[in-house]
Structure 1
Amino acid sequence: MKITVIFFISLFSLLLINSCQSSDNNDYFYNLNNYVSAEYTNYNLTNIRTQYNKELAKYKKTGDKKYILSSKYIELFLYYNTDTRDILNQIPLVYELLKLNNDQYEYISIACNFRLALNMEQNSPKFAMQCLNEAIKMDEKVGKKYFLPHLYHTKGRFYYNEKNYSEAMIYFKKALETYKIRKDDEIFIASMYNNFGLCFNKLNKQDKAIQETLKGIRILEGKKNLNKEDLLFITNMKENLSEYYLKLNDYKNAELFLNQGFEFYQNVKQYNSEFMSISKMLFNLYNSTHQNVKKNNLVSFLLGIESKIQHVSNKIILYEILQDHYLEINDHDKEKMSSKKVIHLISLYNQQKQKDLAQVSDLLNDYFIKNINQKYDYKVSIQKKNILLLFVSSLLVITILALAFINVYKKNKKEKELGEGQKLILEQDLQLHRNKIEKLHLSLNLKIETEKAFLENLRQIKKSKNIDPEETVKDLFFKINNLIQIDKKHNDIINESSLENKLFMEKLSHRFPILTIQELKLCVYFKLNLSSKEISLLENIKDVTARVYKTNIKSKMKLDKETDLTEFLNNLV
């Protein structure tokens, strides 16, 4: 039985250790993510690559699965871009990471589902929401809030894209509350106020939209040591702010914030989609306010950087601006050329989109097929484990039952042997008592007969006149000596049981404290089944007195007349 207890204690300890190790490894991935994210924010891809090599080297040295997972996780950051090429490179890597992890570490499962949700947002919104909900469910269950505010933020954005602005606001608020609890970077808190502004704008509440966006700008500008990411996001919020002012026909403030954004991207020489969006808004504003000089300067600048604009969608915006400009100045040749360029670029863009969509579709189909196979393999594996567990459990139960049976058998056998030994001892003890009582009876009978003879001799002496005195005295002395020897014998018999009698009297006194010492002593004789006459001889009392004592004792013990006192006293022992 001890072995069984030790087995269960060891099993519990092992599960506890595994649970603690899992938690520690989750924190390991969390801290690693914080380091790599900070390096990515500062565009230190070299440091990210170095850390990737370190994790890979740890795996090769130790063979620990944790490090192959960490190296694959860092590899994701090397493709961390919104470009379609990078997204397509990420998806197989995310699936591979999910398969390797197999739900062992919650952090990896949450991160991979989150990354899939982001990658599939445009091409498969329903699947993206499914992955996002799975990530939220796991992160809420773990309780560490590894990605939870970002997950709420993303779900709010999904609802925003679906034009469900009230639901979007709910999740933006949940994200904001969690960011504040975690005391996250100001950029995350500022982004929630920016999102509130976006929702209010869609609800045609531009005043509230401006108020919330300005709050976000003030929070982020109040941060010490702004990095490039902070500055980019401030510029993005100012771009949104300019759109709200435009809707209110406040061209002055709209132009102010658009120019700040334009100058920022111009200084950092980053001609991305945000820059092209600002350029188009400025072009339209200059048209509406008839600022032709500024508009011409803008067009000239855009023509100068045409070769530096790489992405097809950004080039489409560029040539749409040029097309509108040439149309306004009646330069039909350039307007036709720009139109053809726009049509060609849109065609290229659609082709690339279809190609990317087909690749994403293939990846999804491949994933679903693999996922189905994996689930089937998992079910088979679970069934095997359950069968093995059932077998081990059955074996354990049989072993426990066998041990219990053996223990019970040994215990019963020992008790039986002990019982037989005790029975034999009791029988011997009982026989010994019977012998003592028999000797006592014989001794008392002999004493009675001797006393009768002694009394008879005295009577004869009294009647007879011709008796030799010396012979008579000698004969009387002989009989008295016999009486003394008889008393000595029955005293020896009684003394042999003196300790036993003492214990019996103590027990009887405890049970019946009302009994006197003399009554307790007489109970010893009654237990030995001595008659009143025999007791009177032993105690030098009249036999009628012994009978009175017996009646009083039964009365104090509350025994009825029919109850045999000797039997009662022996059963009491």
Structure 2
Amino acid sequence: MKHSIIILLISLFLSFVAVAQEEYSTPQLPDSLVERLKENRGTDLNRAMALDDVIMFYFDDHRIVDATSFINELGDVANSIHDNYWIAKSHYYKALCVYYTYNAEFLAHANKALRIAETLRKNEASQLLLARIYLARSAYFFDNNLFPECQESINNGLKIAEKNGFHSLKHLFLGNLGAMLEHLEKYEDAIDIFKENLKNKFNLSALPNIAASYRELHQYDSAVFYVDSVISYVTKMEKMNGNDGYQLIRAYQIKALVFIDLNLWDQAIKSLDASKYYTAQYGDKSLFSRELLLRADALNGLGKYEQALKTIDNAIDIANTSNLINIEWMAVKLKSDILDNMKAYKREVETLRYFITLTDTLNNRENVEKVQIQKFQQETMAMEQQYELQQAAMRQRHRLIWLSFAFLFVVGALLTVIFMLNRKRKLETIAAVLDTRNREVTSKTLEQMHLNQVLQEVVTKLTYFANNPKGNNNAVDITIRDLKGLIDNGSAKDFDYFFTQVHPDFYKKLQADFPDLTPNDLRLCAYIKSNLNVKEVAELTGVSADSVKTARSRLRKKLCITDPYASLSKFLGKY
């Protein structure tokens, strides 16, 4: 039973009509297309048409991902020229691009393209685009087991294709319909669809699908006939493209499935060996992991359990790193069968736990996808409100613009006020400095006037003494003493003035702590704080150095400094 479930799941994967991701080689863009891009560099309709041709070249060559940058540019150009046809087409291309890179954003782009395309004026181009969108949606819904939605997309697409004579698209829709019927186990109906499709136009992908359906009906001779037809047809080609290689690999794998069903394990491995070269060249992780899965199944049938286990572990690793959770699920299921045959029950239990985890993950993913479908259906129903919403958004933008202007005006006014306040502060600072300089000049002027007055008196006295030399010795001594006092007093005043400019609160703080200090004591403290030594203080005050030392000793007592080694300068540095 376990074996038959694995075979059924593998065959269902092989039955879907897929488009190859890339070819064996990656040819450069043709010179004609390169030249078109160079000639049309602007953001206009000609550029959009040139980009469309480049994208179609990559799509025809099955190099979807290589077209990504051109698709993004087409979207930018379409938005710039406000052309809904090209906007819809760019979203259609983006949907295809993310579809082949297993990105969940497919439905968002596909639905957006559909909503816009349905509003376009009906002509051949718009109807062709609409049919292609339905084709892409049908493939997506098929992959996600959403068969009612898949059937609806196929029916809508077939109507458009038949009405407008899009024969190639009609064959593709019928191919998807056959694949869906096969997945629903309606194999005879699927075979009829595939064969009917072949009558109208040869389609290589239909042959492996017919073979897969015959295999499910256990009509193995018919199944082998169709896969051998594919193998014979493709291997005789001088040059095969990506889709030809893909169908050849599918044919070999379906043939291996037939041999596994018939317990012809060696024949199954030979069939897989024949496709091994093409699978490696094709580089598709999905096909490669499936090939390993089938090989492990055949080795399990031969009883080569260790070799089968090694092969299936390789398949699990590739599926896991490539985010191929369905194949990983099948591989883990087969691994549990192999371990069961080996009677390695402990390892089988661990594998079954992993299998349950993968099953939960698959179920959660399906639930998320169903929620996304419902979400986008609701968005489609809300299309009638889109215009009103756009108008409301436009009004809101206008309000925001006016609010932005008002905000900028307020900010500008605030910046102006701040600038004016800063300027006022600077002017006040300059005025204060000027006032200080003015007071300094005034003080110096008054001192100079006083000095001139005293000197004038001295000159008068000396002139009198010169005219009356007798009996004036004492007067000369008095005059000399007055001059010395004038010098000392001027030096002290100058020092006090400049010292208080640097240390404005020094005298105030010191006298607050030591109220018994005399003016001379305070001035001596200022000299010491200014780092003047004994000799310099003596010269400045006009007394001897010993007198200065004596004054310093008395000052230490008044400042209550008992430690003879304590620095008087360091003590005064606190003030």
Q: TM-score under structure 1 normalisation?
A: 0.52
CA distance change for structure 1 residues 89 and 174 in 2, over 3 Å: closer, same or farther? same
Check if 1:57 corresponds to 2:77.
yes
Query: Is contact 1:40–1:48 with CA below 8 Å preserved after alignment?
Result: no
Query: Is contact 1:139–1:148 with CA below 8 Å preserved after alignment?
Result: yes
Q: How many angstroms does 1:208 deviate by?
A: 1.0
Cα shift readout 1:32-89 (whole Å, capped 9, x = no counterpart)? 589526447443534342255146426635x444333332332223223283614444
Query: Is contact 2:208–2:250 with CA below 8 Å preserved after alignment?
Result: no
CA distance in 2, matches of 1:37, 1:126: 33
Check if 1:255 corresponds to 2:275.
no
CA distance change for structure 1 residues 223 and 48 in 2, over 3 Å: closer, same or farther? farther
Q: How many angstroms does 1:170 deviate by?
A: 2.9
CA distance in 1, matches of 2:349, 2:116: 50
CA distance change for structure 1 residues 212 and 307 in 2, over 3 Å: closer, same or farther? closer
Query: Is contact 1:192–1:216 with CA below 8 Å preserved after alignment?
Result: no
Which residue number in structure 1 is paired with residue 241 of structure 2? 227
Query: Is contact 1:30–1:146 with CA below 8 Å preserved after alignment?
Result: no
Query: Is contact 1:149–1:174 with CA below 8 Å preserved after alignment?
Result: no
**Among candidates 295, 299, 303, match of residue 286 of structure 1:** 299
Which residue number in structure 2 is paired with residue 207 of structure 1? 221
Gap runs ≥5 in structure 1: 1-24, 181-188, 375-573
Work out which structure has the larger RCO, using CA pairs closer than 8 Å and 6 or more positions apart in sequence: 2
CA distance change for structure 1 residues 89 and 69 in 2, over 3 Å: closer, same or farther? closer
Query: Is contact 2:114–2:130 with CA below 8 Å preserved after alignment?
Result: no
CA distance in 1, matches of 2:384, 2:302: 60
Check if 1:112 corresponds to 2:133.
yes
CA distance change for structure 1 residues 72 and 310 in 2, over 3 Å: closer, same or farther? closer
**Among candidates 364, 367, 374, match of residue 377 of structure 2:** 364
Q: Aligned runs of 1:461-480 on 2, under 5 Å?
A: none
Which residue number in structure 2 is paired with residue 73 of structure 1? 92
Query: What residue identity is the alignment partner of 1:119?
Result: Y
Q: How many angstroms does 1:147 deviate by?
A: 0.9
CA distance in 2, matches of 1:253, 1:88: 42
Q: How many angstroms does 1:193 deviate by?
A: 1.5
Gap runs ≥5 in structure 2: 1-44, 387-575
CA distance in 2, matches of 1:317, 1:108: 37
Query: Is contact 1:152–1:171 with CA below 8 Å preserved after alignment?
Result: yes
Q: How many angstroms does 1:233 deviate by?
A: 2.5
CA distance in 2, matches of 1:279, 1:364: 39
Cα shift readout 1:148-192 (whole Å, capped 9, x = no counterpart)? 111121122222223333332232123223334xxxxxxxx2211
Deviating more after overlay: 96-105 vs 356-365: 96-105
Query: What residue identity is the alignment partner of 1:231?
Result: G
Q: Aligned runs of 1:73-152 on 2, under 5 Å?
A: 73-81=92-100, 83=102, 85-101=104-120, 103=122, 105-121=126-142, 122-152=144-174
Q: Bigger radius of gyration, 1 or 2?
A: 1
Which residue number in structure 1 is paired with residue 361 of structure 2? 348
Q: How many angstroms does 1:342 deviate by?
A: 1.5
CA distance in 2, matches of 1:270, 1:99: 35
Q: Aligned runs of 1:368-517 on 2, under 5 Å?
A: 369-370=381-382
Query: Is contact 1:271–1:308 with CA below 8 Å preserved after alignment?
Result: no
Q: How many angstroms does 1:254 deviate by?
A: 1.5
Which residue number in structure 1 is paired with residue 323 of structure 2? 310
CA distance in 2, matches of 1:66, 1:371: 17
Q: How many angstroms does 1:275 deviate by?
A: 3.5
Cα shift readout 1:292-348 (whole Å, capped 9, x = no counterpart)? 464254256457657635333333233334333333434444332222211122112
Query: Is contact 2:52–2:74 with CA below 8 Å preserved after alignment?
Result: no
CA distance change for structure 1 residues 170 and 242 in 2, over 3 Å: closer, same or farther? same
Which residue number in structure 2 is paired with residue 157 of structure 1? 179
Query: Is contact 1:276–1:314 with CA below 8 Å preserved after alignment?
Result: yes
CA distance in 2, matches of 1:302, 1:127: 32
CA distance change for structure 1 residues 309 and 338 in 2, over 3 Å: closer, same or farther? farther
Which residue number in structure 1 is paired with residue 251 of structure 2? 237
Which residue number in structure 1 is paired with residue 492 of structure 2? none
CA distance in 1, matches of 2:317, 2:89: 44
CA distance in 1, matches of 2:236, 2:299: 32
CA distance change for structure 1 residues 47 and 336 in 2, over 3 Å: closer, same or farther? same
CA distance in 2, matches of 1:198, 1:346: 25
Query: What residue identity is the alignment partner of 1:239?
Result: Q
CA distance change for structure 1 residues 270 and 164 in 2, over 3 Å: closer, same or farther? closer
Check if 1:45 corresponds to 2:65.
yes
Aligned-pair Cα RMSD in Å: 3.7
Query: Is contact 2:305–2:342 with CA below 8 Å preserved after alignment?
Result: no
Query: What residue identity is the alignment partner of 2:338?
Result: H
Cα shift readout 1:354-376 (whole Å, capped 9, x = no counterpart)? 12222222223433x236879xx
Query: What residue identity is the alignment partner of 2:337?
Result: D
CA distance change for structure 1 residues 142 and 29 in 2, over 3 Å: closer, same or farther? farther
Cα shift readout 1:441-464 (whole Å, capped 9, x = no counterpart)? xxxxxxxxxxxxxxxxxxxxxxxx
Query: Is contact 1:172–1:196 with CA below 8 Å preserved after alignment?
Result: yes
CA distance change for structure 1 residues 360 and 201 in 2, over 3 Å: closer, same or farther? same
Which residue number in structure 1 is paired with residue 10 of structure 2? none
Query: Is contact 2:75–2:90 with CA below 8 Å preserved after alignment?
Result: yes
Query: Is contact 2:220–2:258 with CA below 8 Å preserved after alignment?
Result: yes
CA distance in 2, matches of 1:309, 1:47: 21
Q: How many angstroms does 1:286 deviate by?
A: 1.6
CA distance change for structure 1 residues 341 and 223 in 2, over 3 Å: closer, same or farther? same
Name the SS for the 1:356 alignment partner.
Answer: helix
Q: TM-score under structure 2 normalisation?
A: 0.52
Query: Identity over the aligned pairs, expressed in percent?
Result: 12
Query: What residue identity is the alignment partner of 2:155?
Result: N
CA distance in 2, matches of 1:30, 1:245: 50
CA distance change for structure 1 residues 162 and 356 in 2, over 3 Å: closer, same or farther? same
CA distance in 1, matches of 2:87, 2:175: 30
